Amino acid sequence: MKTSDKYFPSQEQGEKVFLLVRKHWWNYVPFAITGILMILPIIAVLMYWSANSASIPYETGTMIIGGLAIYCMFTLGVQLIGFISYYLDVYIVTDHRIVDIDQAGLFNRKISELHLHQVQDVNAQVKGIFATLLHFGDVNIQTAGERENFTFSAIPNPYTVAKQIINLHEAHIEPLTEDGTPTAVAADISKQAEPDRGMDIEDIEAQAKELMSQTTMADRLKSGGLVQAKLVMPTPGSLAVDQSIAATKKPVSVQKNEMPAPKPASVVNTNEIEEGELTEGKEVDLK
Amino acid sequence: MNSVLVGIYIAITLVFIAFSAAGIYHLWRFGYSGDLSKIIIVIYSVISIAVVVVSASIISFRAFGG
């Protein structure tokens, strides 16, 4: 993806932006009024200067110009800060996540992200006379777990934005596996567990029975004498069990060996998966 | 206009230039494609340069050349 194709700097490869929302222009009005008020003295001084330039002492005139220039710079600086704070303060909704970029001044920038899976409820609120007349309001996004809720403050058309977020959320979580895990998440975890995938339980049983049926020690040695099998259950809350099965006539012993749990993908809501579920051992009875 | 006032003017102008550079960097770096960031950068730069150049020219002429 070329830089020019990106809507925002941290946009990922293939990530589609559905909404890029700024605060309603009404929120910029105080800054605009401040700017106009700050320009008025400049105009007044220039008018005074043009009318009385002959009577103003030479050195005083130079000081007035210097002061006026400094005041103009100050005004420009204030307006620049106001514009940056307003214009770079945006809410972005993509097909994967919701990004809240909070720009307060030049050197205070905070970026919060929320995955669409973590959205639990979205509601819009329009409060006040101006908000009703000018169609702006807040959209509150409630999240799963202990995460802080997201609020889109004073954005235009809050009802439409809320509906679009709900639609995107539903479209994103629609395909679920049997245990309620979103397909995308389950696929991601499976993909991560793939390198460690060994035989499944049926394969282990079949191989153990085959070994048991072999009568001579030579056969056992020929076949390797030891079966190494790994069982991976690639769903959240599953665990990986490493089993070593000795090829003897003694009852088959199962050695539990917890493997590192598959690293949750960035899209997994860690609040929904208990840590114990990922690391807890599990007995597998092989006969 | 004595040299102290000219020094103050120069110091404030330098601070303003540094501040403007930081602001323009923010708009350039964090602006979004197709928005007003680039236009604002141009407008702000033109006005700022005009203010600095005109005031510096007048002050230097009146303080040292007049």
- pLDDT per position as a tens digit, B28-38: 888 876 788 88
The number of distinct structural domains making up chain B is 1
- Contact indicator for A139, A31 with CB cutoff of 8 Å: no
Would you state the structure tokens that stand for residue A50, as one six-digit string? 């043009």
- Chain B residue numbers touching A106 (CB-CB < 8 A): 19, 22-23, 26
The answer to whether A255 and A244 are in contact (CB under 8 A) is yes
Give me the residue spans of the domains in chain A. 14-24+91-173, 27-87, 183-279
Residues of A in contact with B36 (CB under 8 A): 87
pLDDT at A138 over 90: yes
Question: Which pLDDT does position A63 carry in this prediction?
Answer: 86
Q: Which of A74-78, A99-103, A107-111, A231-235 has the lowest mean pLDDT?
A: A231-235
CATH T-level topology, domain A14-24+91-173: PH-domain like (2.30.29)
* Contact check, Cβ <8 Å, A84/B27: yes
Handedness of CA A93, A97, A98, A103 (dihedral sign): negative
Token pair belonging to A104: 């307060």
Stated pTM of the model:
0.63
Which of the residues A4, A65, A101 would you substitute to probe the B interface, choosing the one with the greatest number of B C-beta atoms within 10 Å? A65
Q: How many CB atoms lie within 10 A of CB A222?
A: 10
- Residue A38 near chain B (CB below 8 Å): no
A contacts of B26 (beta carbons < 8 Å): 84, 88, 103, 106
With a CB cutoff of 8 Å and minimum separation 6, the contacts of A24 are A134, A136, A154, A155, A156
What confidence score (pLDDT) does residue B30 get? 84
- Rg for chain A, CA atoms, rounded: 33
Residues of chain B with C-beta less than 8 angstroms from the C-beta of A4: 33
Shortest CA distance from B7: residue in chain A? A66
Q: What was the pLDDT predicted at A231? A: 40
SS (H, E, C) A160-208: HHHHHHHHHHHHHHCCECCCCCEHHHHHHHHHHHHHHCCCCHHHHHHHH
Strand-pairing partners, residue A93, are A19, A98
Of the two residues B66 and B23, the one the predictor is more confident about is B23
C-alpha distances in Å from residue B46, one per residue of A225, B20, B30, B36, B41: 83, 12, 21, 16, 9
CA distance A36 to chain B (A): 15
Q: Fill in the DSSP letter of residue A110.
A: E
Residue whose entry in the numeric block shows the structure tokens 């679009």: A164
What's the confidence (pLDDT) of residue A182?
Answer: 52
